[in-house]
A and B are shown apart, each in its own frame.
Chain A
Amino acid sequence: NAGVTQTPKFRVLKTGQSMTLLCAQDMNHEYMYWYRQDPGMGLRLIHYSVGEGTTAKGEVPDGYNVSRLKKQNFLLGLESAAPSQTSVYFCASSYVPRRGADRDTQYFGPGTRLTVL
């Protein structure tokens, strides 16, 4: 199993450009997440999905859109990139938390380093 993979690993954009980050997982996980991490800070949740065809806002959703057309893929889009979106973006996935059982852990990808000039 490859686990969670992210494409691309690095990207430089100019202000106003658009791009899509791809996250793929081969563990048949229901839940997928997008986080961003700014220098010296913890991770902040952007959007998440509890299943194919569903998405929800996290802590910092503004400026981003997401889609989950296939269970194994979770796409993060920047329609008009801004310098404030310079960050490292991490994708994660997890099993469906089952009521009465331990919450399952999240498995993270290696990250995408995005610079917006």
Chain B
Amino acid sequence: DAKTTQPPSMDCAEGRAANLPCNHSTISGNEYVYWYRQIHSQGPQYIIHGLKNNETNEMASLIITEDRKSSTLILPHATLRDTAVYYCIAISNFGNEKLTFGTGTRLTIIP
């Protein structure tokens, strides 16, 4: 699986869009980009994933660059409940059952 790099921490004002970057310059063609988050010691929660097209669901949007070497998770209207550690993971869907979680980005939403 490709290694990902994320900033260790970010702040965002409540009500604004939170943009969380992730670099995955060694990603291969069959690896997806997944985002999870972990709110204060709870179990990680799936947010969104994508291969090469931008994706949107009820929680967030995922923007993947054309060369797929980086991506951005967007929380359009951040609330205090979005304060969490966000993990970006690049994984293959063929024969690899393991998720490798790094240290992620600690996002703090400021009132």
Contacts and interface: CB of A to CB of B under 8 A. Distances in A.
**Pairing of A with B:** yes
A106 B46 contact: yes
A73 to B, nearest CB: 17
Interface stretch (B10-18, B19-27, B68-76, B89-97): B89-97
Contacts of B46: 105-107
Interface size class of chain A, counting residues whose CB lies under 8 Å from the partner chain: 20 to 34
Contacts, number: 64
Q: Chain B at the A interface: mostly helix, strand, loop or mixed?
A: loop
A74 interface: no
A77 B92 CA distance: 29
A97 B93 contact: yes
A108 B93 CA distance: 19
A109 B108 CA distance: 23
Given A42-B103, A58-B98, A103 B91 contact: yes
Taking residues whose C-beta sits less than 8 angstroms from the other chain, chain B's interface range is 20 to 34
Interface stretch (A12-20, A43-51, A64-72, A78-86): A43-51
Contacts of A21: none
A107 B92 CA distance: 18
B59 to A, nearest CB: 12
B86 to A, nearest CB: 11
B94 A110 contact: no
Among B32, B49, B91, B97, max chain A CB count under 10 A is at B97
A111 B42 CA distance: 7
5 contacts: A33-B98, A88-B41, A97-B94, A105-B34, A108-B45
Interface of B: 32, 34, 41-46, 49, 51, 87, 91-94, 97-104
Q: Give me the 9 closest cross-chain CB pairs, A-B, nearest first.
A: A108-B43, A42-B101, A103-B93, A105-B46, A43-B101, A108-B44, A42-B102, A42-B103, A45-B98
